[in-house]
Amino acid sequence: MRAAITIVLVAALCLLGTTYVAADGFAACVFQGSDTVSGYFTFQQEASGSDITVVANFTSHEKYSHLYLHFHTYGDLDLAIDKNECWSAVTLGPYSAPKKPHYILETSWVSGLNLFGSNSIVGRKASLYPKISTCGVDGLDKSPVAECVVGVRNVAAVATNTAGQYLESNPTSGYAKMVGTTGSFGDNEGVTGRVWFVPTSSGDIYVKAHLEGLAANTVHAIHVHAWGDITSANGLSAGLHLNPYEQIHGVPPNPIRHMGDMGNITTNGDGWRTLRTPTTS
């Protein structure tokens, strides 16, 4: 199995810098781990400060009179709500699910959000709540019905997608939650895991991964892909390996390789594996 890894960022690692080119940006946020809601949101913005075109494309398997989407500061799906404050006062919705199941497909144009710069929503968590609240921390409703992390979207018809995070200082850490794929490489929905990215004083990035649910005593490759897009269940929407310098495929510690090449792992007899490796990418 080769499962696409979508980077869920505490602070963006892949798109750093202090300036950017104004061009169309595209992003997507796919709900994970919820039996109540399935589907995703997409976002498009022509330039920083312009309105964002938001498309809600999801199915609610329960009845709700209203649903609202809030954005949180960090893209960590495991971080408690009361430790992950609202990123923006902008709330999307309301969306109505008068019956179950109910399919929602709505387009809106929203001001006050960005897909560019240090104020970008890319890499941040979005939570769907049944009530308007301060991201659920004011006592009205602390449990969202679904959550997702905004990632840079793979739009094949677009030559340049400049959505992302552009930080003025180096990030302290990054975090990814593994999503099992289906289709191209078999049914891997039972695969779970976490990947952490921590900068070191030497300038390297220390990568730690803990993966479970894989077949025992099997070899798997870990890669970071070009897009934070998991709209397709088979993982192909994440695109090719991250390879901005057009290198050949390789494995660490060889510096001649795709930036997204993290190397291979072999699972133990219980089907899990922990990886700890420094990388210069």
Tens of pLDDT, residues 81-123: 777 888 888 889 999 999 999 999 999 999 999 998 888 999 9
Return the pLDDT at 157: 60
Per DSSP, 159 falls in state S
Q: Contact, 90 vs 71, CB < 8 A? A: yes
The candidate with the shortest Cα–Cα distance to 207, out of 192, 226, 194, is 194
Residue 14 has pLDDT above 80, yes or no: no
Lowest mean per-residue pLDDT among 41-55, 99-113, 253-267: 253-267
Tokens at 219, concatenated: 């070899």
Tokens at 210, concatenated: 């803990």
- 48 or 16, which is more confident: 48
Mean pLDDT calculated for residue range 268-280? 67
pLDDT band at residue 17 using 50, 70 and 90 as cut-offs? very low
- 173 or 119, which is more confident: 119
Task: Report the topology of domain 174-279.
Answer: Immunoglobulin-like (2.60.40)
Return the pLDDT at 145: 92
Residue 55 pairs with which residues in a beta bridge? 42, 107
Name the one residue in this structure whose structure tokens are 């494995």.
251
Return the pLDDT at 42: 96
What residues does each domain of the chain span?
A: 25-152, 174-279
Rounded Cα distance, 274 and 266, in Å = 9
- 236 or 138, which is more confident: 236
CA 104 to chain centre: 22
> What is the value of pTM for the model shown?
0.81
pLDDT band at residue 205 using 50, 70 and 90 as cut-offs? confident
Name the one residue in this structure whose structure tokens are 């329960």.
62
**Residues 6 or more apart whose Cβ sits within 8 Å of residue 265:** 209, 211, 219, 220, 221, 222, 273, 275
pLDDT winner (highest mean) among 68-72, 160-164, 173-177, 276-280? 68-72
CATH architecture of 25-152: Sandwich (2.60)
pLDDT band at residue 11 using 50, 70 and 90 as cut-offs? very low
From the number of C-beta atoms within 10 Å of its C-beta (0-12, 13-18, 19+), residue 110 rates as middle
Q: Do domains 25-152 and 174-279 have the same CATH topology?
A: yes
Task: Give the chain's radius of gyration (CA, Å).
Answer: 19
Mean pLDDT calculated for residue range 159-165? 75
Mean pLDDT of the chain, nearest integer: 80
Rounded Cα distance, 246 and 187, in Å = 31
Return the pLDDT at 8: 34
